[in-house]
Amino acid sequence: MAVAFFTGFPGFLGVQLLPRVLARDPELRAVCLVQAKFADLARTRVDELVAADASLEGRIELVEGDITVEDLGLDDPARLAADVTEVWHLAAVYDLAVPRDVGMRINVVGTEHVLRFAESAPGLTRHQYVSTCYVSGRYAGPFAESDLDVGQRFNNFYEETKFLAEVAVAERMRGGMPTSIYRPAIVVGDSTTGQTQKFDGPYFATQWLLRQKLRLTVMPVIGDPTAVRFNVVPRDFVVDAIAALSGDDRSKDRVYQLADPKPLTVDELLDAMGAATDKRIVKVPISRGLAKFAVEKIPGVHDLLRIPSDAIDYFSHPTHYLTTNASADLETHGISCPRLVDYLPTLVAFQRSHPEISHHAMI
Per-residue 3-state assignment (H helix, E strand, C coil) for the chain: CCEEEEECCCCHHHHHHHHHHHHCCCCCEEEEEECHHHHHHHHHHHHHHHHHCHHHCCCEEEEECCCCCHHHHCCCHHHHHCCEEEEEECCCCCCCCCCHHHHHHHHHHHHHHHHHHHHCCCCCCEEEEECCHHHHCCCCEEECCCCCCCCCCCCCHHHHHHHHHHHHHHHHHHCCCCEEEEEECEEECCCCCCCCCCCCCCHHHHHHHHHCCCCEEEEEEECCCCCCEECEEEHHHHHHHHHHHHCCHHHCCEEEEECCCCCEEHHHHHHHHHHHHCCEEEEEEECHHHHHHHHHHCCCHHHHHCCCHHHHHHHHCCEEECCHHHHHHHHCCCCCCCCHHHHHHHHHHHHHHCCCCCCCCCC
Return mean pLDDT, the chain. Answer: 96
Amino acid making up residue 172: R
Amino acid making up residue 338: P
Percent of the chain scoring above 90 in pLDDT: 91
* pLDDT at residue 249 in the model: 96
C-beta of residue 320 within 8 angstroms of C-beta of residue 137: no
Is pLDDT of 360 > 90?
A: no
The predicted model scores a pTM of 0.95
pLDDT tens for residues 144-169? 999 999 999 999 999 999 999 999 99
d(CA 95, CA 157): 9
- How would residue 361 be classed by pLDDT, with cut points 50, 70 and 90? low
- For residue 343, CA distances in Å to 56, 188, 336 come to 32, 10, 14
Closest CA to 206 of 6, 14, 347, 98: 347
C-beta of residue 133 within 8 angstroms of C-beta of residue 260: no
* pLDDT at residue 362 in the model: 53
Closest CA to 41 of 9, 74, 89, 88: 9
d(CA 270, CA 276): 10
Q: Which residues contact 123 (CB under 8 A, 6 or more apart)?
A: 2, 82, 83, 84, 85
C-beta of residue 202 within 8 angstroms of C-beta of residue 186: yes
Cis ω for the linkage preceding 10 (within 30 of 0): yes
pLDDT tens for residues 302-347? 888 888 889 999 999 999 999 999 999 999 999 999 999 999 999 9
